[in-house]
């Protein structure tokens, strides 16, 4: 399954600084697929070799990647390789114990209640393809509940989860975590397929996240051995957060939609739609991974932070 780097608190600062640029994150994502040379990275990202060398050096200094020599047609080839196959971060425990409660819900990716999907599309369980590939009717198959990966080039899937905290509670923040990538419907390069992926809560669009591409060159940590290596193997773990300050993906603001802008407190349930907005620029589809597929052993995780009406809002 590869080495896992577990970060916590201030000790993780040097690693987070090393990953603190779009180019270095793209390099790190590329090396998840396969070991690559400076020239290969330069061609895929369309930036100069000298700049790639500089960015690679920062990742290497932090201990996140290493340079290895492998035999090639014309002698030894110098390649960049990941030191860690996965990085996890856990904040230091808060000293202030007065934080408001958080309800946590895990939603299987096959537990959608509505959908509208277009080929290419499909679902697979841990053991086999569900229904027929590229046939939207397969999403009606009763076995869809056991899906561990699903994909579509256009459309959406919608889930619902209960608002099961106290009736007089007010939702302050919602976090949504899922492993996701482009589907690869309109590739512009090797594994490169930009896709603007959006989510909606109770019908309100939160905002798009731009997925760089899809990942086929390396087996996912939990992807079954029977799944062909020519298809998507894993995605990236992304976290949406909606609160009083706006909407964010992994801490980066994507829209000004706030928790108060969504009708979260007047219903017994909340709907979550994951899909492609045809009005966005990049239509590259969606591939969504469950706990037994990809690199992260989880389904869609939802956290609902709330307070009683009599309590003061969080700072």
pLDDT of amino acid 3 = 76
Segment 173-198, tens digit of pLDDT: 999 999 999 998 788 878 899 999 99
pLDDT of amino acid 96 = 44
- Where in the chain are the domains? 4-88, 96-308
The answer to whether 277 and 209 have CB atoms below 8 angstroms apart is no
The answer to whether 198 and 206 have CB atoms below 8 angstroms apart is yes
Which segments in the chain show pLDDT lower than 70? 1-2, 72-74, 92-101, 165, 266, 308-315
In angstroms and rounded to an integer, the radius of gyration of the C-alpha atoms of the chain is: 21
Specify the fold of 96-308: Jelly Rolls (2.60.120)
Q: What is the mean pLDDT of the chain?
A: 89
3 state SS of 103: strand
- Domain 4-88 CATH (choose: 3.40.50.970, 1.10.10.10, 1.20.120.80, 3.10.20.310): 1.10.10.10
Longest Cα pair distance anywhere in the chain, in angstroms? 73
Query: Cα–Cα distance between 177 and 106 in angstroms, integer?
Result: 10
Half-sphere exposure of 189 (CA within 13 A, CB side): 12
Task: Looking at the chain, list the stretches that DSSP marks H as alpha helix, in order from N- to C-terminal side.
Answer: 13-18, 22-33, 38-45, 49-61
């Amino acid at each position: 399954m590869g080495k896992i780097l577990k970060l916590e608190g201030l000790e993780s600062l040097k690693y987070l600084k090393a990953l603190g640029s779009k180019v270095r994150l793209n390099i790190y994502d590329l090396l998840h697929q396969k070991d690559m040379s400076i020239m290969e990275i330069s061609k895929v990202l369309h930036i100069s070799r000298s700049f790639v060398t500089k960015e690679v050096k920062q990742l290497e200094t932090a201990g996140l990647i290493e340079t290895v020599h492998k035999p090639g047609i014309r002698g030894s080839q110098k390649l960049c390789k990941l030191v860690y196959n996965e990085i996890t971060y856990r904040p230091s425990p808060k000293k202030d114990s007065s934080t408001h409660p958080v309800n946590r819900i895990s939603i299987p990716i096959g537990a959608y209640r509505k959908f509208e999907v277009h080929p290419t599309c499909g679902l697979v369980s841990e053991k086999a393809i569900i229904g027929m590939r590229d046939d939207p009717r397969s999403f009606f198959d009763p076995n869809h509940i056991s899906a561990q990966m699903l994909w579509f080039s256009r459309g959406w899937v919608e889930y619902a989860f209960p608002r099961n905290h106290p009736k007089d509670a007010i939702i302050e923040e919602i976090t949504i975590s899922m492993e996701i990538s482009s589907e690869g419907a309109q590739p512009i390069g090797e594994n490169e397929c930009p896709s603007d992926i959006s989510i909606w809560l109770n019908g309100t669009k939160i905002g798009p996240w731009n997925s760089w591409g899809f990942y086929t060159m390396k087996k996912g940590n939990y992807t079954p051995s029977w799944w062909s290596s020519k298809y998507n193997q894993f995605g990236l773990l992304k976290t949406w957060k909606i609160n009083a300050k706006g909407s964010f993906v992994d801490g980066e603001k994507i829209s000004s939609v706030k928790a108060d802008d969504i009708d979260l407190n007047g219903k017994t349930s909340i709907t979550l739609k994951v899909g492609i907005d045809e009005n966005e620029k990049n239509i590259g589809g969606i591939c969504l991974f469950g706990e037994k597929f990809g690199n992260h052993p989880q389904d869609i995780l939802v956290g609902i932070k709330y307070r009683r009406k009599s309590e003061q809002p969080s700072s």
